[in-house]
Structure 1
Amino acid sequence: MSSNVHGISVGIERSGNEFYMTFVAVGKLTHEDYQYMVPMLEAAIAGVDKPEINVLADISELDGWELRAAWDDLKIGIEHGKAFKKIAIVGEGKLQEWMAKIADWFTPYDAKFFDNKKQARDWLND
């Protein structure tokens, strides 16, 4: 049994008058991680008539994806991308910044990379 910590935490935060969904990705994500997270995400989106959800995604401790998990991530973007308005991605390093730029190019929501949460929250509140 592996002792490597990995997974996705989903939550809600408030900054000023704005509420937004939070994701924290840790370790190398697996298909099983998405099997647990996707129903929570879908339940949250289902409760909103015309969702325009802002997201704060912390990937600073993300080590990557297994191939099937990367496919799961792409499917979420395709199936639910229109529910999101802005995604602030907090991470470290050029590779994570590059991943955020790719997300911005190929998704209907506005995605931007930050190296700290304060700047990310400020952008979400604009």
Structure 2
Amino acid sequence: MTMLKHGISLGIERHGEGDFFVNIKAVGKLTHADYEYMVPMLESAIAGVKSPDIYAFLDVTEMDGWEARAMWDDLKLGLKHGHQFEKIAILGKTELQHWMSRMADWFTPIKVRYFRDETDALDWLKE
């Protein structure tokens, strides 16, 4: 039996009144079902907070891409909640991931940085 490994693991910590640290690990090829799992958890965590500030650590070192519908889900998440993200630190291992991180930084109001070292990424989020 061959087992395909894919999905999202998500951790959310609240600090103070409205700061949230979100830890996301993406593995394999992300699907619409992965976003159906993640988005309600994020929205539930920030519900009732007037102006949440989200600091996200995104580990994509084992990610292989998205299904088309999952890409759409990611775009919708960004349009709905993008203004609530203060920083996104992306931990990756490929030049394509680095390039996509730079594109996100250029075309969104969110501070996005790419890292190959987890400690550096977490330190930057805490600045």
Kindly provide the CA deviation profile for residues 20-75 of structure 1, in whole angstroms up to 9, marking residues without a partner as x: 11111000001111111110011112142211111111011000001111111111
Corresponding residue for residue 74 of structure 2: 73
Matches within 5 A, 1:1-126: 3-12=3-12, 20-126=21-127
- Given that residues 89 and 114 in structure 2 are in contact (C-alpha distance below 8 angstroms), is that contact kept between their aligned partners in structure 1? yes
2:65 and 2:30 map into 1 onto residues whose CA distance is: 6
The number of residues matched between the two structures is 123
Q: Judging changes above 3 Å, is the alpha-carbon distance between structure 1 residues 41 and 2 closer, same or farther for their aligned structure 2 residues?
A: farther
Instruction: Give the RMSD, CA atoms, in angstroms.
Output: 1.9
Kindly state the Cα deviation for residue 108 of structure 1 after the two structures are TM-superposed.
2.0
| 3-state SS, counterpart of residue 72 of structure 1 | helix
- What's the TM-score, normalizing by structure 1? 0.89
Consecutive aligned runs of 4 or more in structure 1 exceeding 4 Å deviation: none
Identical residues among aligned pairs (%): 57
Q: Which amino acid aligns with 2:36?
A: Q
**Gap regions ≥5 residues in structure 2:** none
